[in-house]
Structure 1
Amino acid sequence: MPKSKPQTKSSKVIALLSRTSGATLTEICKATNWQQHSVRAFLTGLRKKGYLLAREQRGEDGTACRITQGLNDKDAKGAA
């Protein structure tokens, strides 16, 4: 049985941010064991790569970030 490739922390964060409810800074920190400043730096890197992120108030949980447009979405709209 072939071993599956382990999920990277980057892919975990992108999956969390792709949910309809997005993810809070705390949720990302718990999933990756990163410190808050590292998560913020990663989010900045995603923006520089072309992801569009939205910040939304999520009731008592605080502010959540969510990917509203990914790299593939941008390419698809440009080709149409």
Structure 2
Amino acid sequence: MSDTIEIKSAPKQHVSKTGLVLELLSRTDGATIEQIVEATGWLAHSTRAALTGLRKKGHFITSEKREGAGRVYRVEVV
């Protein structure tokens, strides 16, 4: 018999794509549609629909147009 103890790591939690979008939007710099598309694999129109869905769920999402970066979206904590 061995005196070693096998320690198993906790299973990794599954992060949904919507959760991933919220993480991106929570960054200080926010995220562009292109960044969200790259992270999720969604098409641009699906990404915009997801932003609308998050708004309907009560998230306060702002957007601003930045020079050289296009439109940047952020979720604001109210």
Tell me the TM-score normalized by structure 2: 0.82
Residue aligning to 2:30: 22
Alpha-carbon separation, structure 2, partners of 1:21 and 1:58: 11
Structure 1 residue runs of 4 or more that deviate by more than 4 Å after TM superposition: none
Higher helix fraction (1 or 2): 1
Q: Does residue 1:8 correspond to 2:16, yes or no?
A: yes
Structure with larger Rg: 2
- Output the aligned Cα RMSD: 1.1
Tell me the secondary structure at the aligned position of residue 72 of structure 2. Answer: strand
Q: Which runs of 5+ in 2 are unaligned?
A: 1-8
Tell me the secondary structure at the aligned position of residue 27 of structure 1. Answer: helix
Quick one: percent identity of the two aligned structures?
A: 43
Q: Which runs of 5+ in 1 are unaligned?
A: 74-80
Question: Between Structure 1 and Structure 2, how many residues are aligned?
Answer: 70
